[in-house]
Amino acid sequence: MATYRDGKRVDGGPSDRHYEILASHGNIDAIPQSRRSEFVAAPAPRQNRGGIFNSGYISLTDFGDGGGPGRSGARFSSRDTGAYDTNNDGYVSEAEYKAAESRPDFSRTQGGIAAISNFLGARPRGSYGRERALGQRGTNIGTSGIANYVAGGGMFGPLFGDGPTRMQQAMPSMDQGQQFTYQNLINSGMTHQQAMQFLGFPAAPPPRNYSPTPMLRPSGPPQIPATPRPFNMGGLLALRDYNMGMQMGMGQSV
């Protein structure tokens, strides 16, 4: 029977230090069952994230709307992206994703199936409408790679299509990646009223620095007014009378 004094074995058996070394090397079976709990920490309980298959996703729709479990987003994610959702609206926009790319934990949220979907260039379901709804804070996101090829109609797309489709970009008439600013909307072909309605503002007059057509410099000779400018004719008439008088006087002298 083992004998202990002040917490240490004194009967010549293995010391506590010996068991600590065994535990540090993972040799758990060499430690008596009765004393394993003293040197081997109990495994941490597995975190239950809840949802479908203990994945944290709250529904089947949550799998396909991007943003990770419990959220939607402009990209696909495999883990919680709550830290990226700066305005806490439940949607991680393209701008918020770009701002989070420099975070050290960003790559951890983009693994698994999400990484494959992003690599293929796909966009989550409903992300186009959510970006448009953000107005000036939204981005004209779109597909890329293989997903863009499929969304564009495959090999027959270029034969029948003319530019990107609404499946390829949130706004096909605008360059992909641009923000939905007033000037970008105007450049895409919208009228002032359409742009203001898109941004959620009343149809107020256009900004002062905005002109729908470029200003042209005048060309050709200057235009002469139709009505001649009034001149002071008194001095000219007096000079005429003086000349006539001089001529008459010279004629009489001859």
Q: Model confidence at 61, in pLDDT bands (50, 70, 90)?
A: confident
Cα four-point dihedral sign 90, 95, 97, 99: negative
Q: Looking at the 3D structure of the chain, how many domains does it have? A: 3
Q: Pick the residue with more confidence: 5 or 98?
A: 98
pLDDT for position 186: 93
Q: What phi and psi values does residue 72 have, to the nearest 5 degrees?
A: -120, 165
Q: Is residue 112 part of a domain?
A: yes
pLDDT for position 211: 56
Q: What is the dihedral of CA 199, 204, 209, 215, to 10 degrees?
A: 110
pLDDT in tens, 227-239: 555 545 555 555 5
pLDDT for position 54: 44
Do 169 and 131 lie in a common domain?
yes
Do 106 and 136 lie in a common domain?
no
The answer, yes or no, to whether residue 223 has pLDDT greater than 90, is no
Do 105 and 68 lie in a common domain?
yes
- Please, are residues 39 and 22 in contact by the beta-carbon 8 Å criterion? yes
Domain that holds residue 119: 55-123
pLDDT for position 124: 92
Q: Is residue 108 part of a domain?
A: yes
The answer, yes or no, to whether residue 79 has pLDDT greater than 70, is yes
Distance CA 132, CA 174 (A): 12
pLDDT in tens, 159-214: 666 678 888 899 999 999 999 999 999 999 999 999 998 988 876 666 666 555 55
Strand partners, 211: none
Do 60 and 114 lie in a common domain?
yes
Question: pTM for the full model?
Answer: 0.57
Q: Is residue 229 part of a domain?
A: no
Q: Is residue 29 part of a domain?
A: yes
pLDDT in tens, 116-147: 999 999 999 999 999 999 999 999 999 999 99
pLDDT in tens, 36-58: 667 665 544 444 444 444 456 77
**Percent of the chain residues topping a pLDDT of 90:** 30
